[in-house]
Amino acid sequence: MSIKDIGESLKKAGKLKTNPLAVYGIETIPDGAEPMCSFDSCVAKSIFNAAVNEKTPALYMGKDTLRGCCPGSMTYFGFTKPLEFIRYFVSTGNKKFRGGEAEYLKASPPIVDEFLESIGKITSPGKYVIIQRYNEIEEDVDVKSILCFGKGEQIRNLASLIHFRTTNPFNAISMPMGPACATFVTYPARMAEKTPKGTSFIGPVDPTGNIWFPPEYMAIGIPIDIAVKMHDDLEKSFVIKKPEVAYPQIRENIL
Q: Please state the rounded mean pLDDT for residues 198-213.
A: 97
| pLDDT of residue 140 exceeding 90 | no
| pLDDT of residue 147 exceeding 90 | yes
In a domain, 86, yes or no: no
pLDDT confidence tier of residue 84, bands split at 50, 70 and 90: confident
- The pTM of this model reads 0.95
In a domain, 112, yes or no: no
In a domain, 215, yes or no: yes
Q: Please state the rounded mean pLDDT for residues 86-94.
A: 93
Number of independent structural domains in the chain: 1
In a domain, 96, yes or no: no
In a domain, 173, yes or no: yes
Given this model, what pLDDT does residue 222 score?
Answer: 98
pLDDT confidence tier of residue 132, bands split at 50, 70 and 90: very high
Write down the mean pLDDT value for the chain.
95
In a domain, 115, yes or no: no
| pLDDT of residue 139 exceeding 80 | no
Q: Please state the rounded mean pLDDT for residues 54-76.
A: 94
- Asked if 14 contacts 155 with a C-beta cutoff of 8 angstroms, the reply is yes
AA letter at 19 = N
Q: Which of 21, 6, 2 is nearest to 184 (CA)?
A: 21
How do residues 153-168 score in pLDDT, each as one tens digit?
A: 999 999 999 999 999 9
In a domain, 97, yes or no: no
| Boundaries of domain holding 38 | 3-78+122-246
CA 2 to CA 227: how far, in whole Å? 11
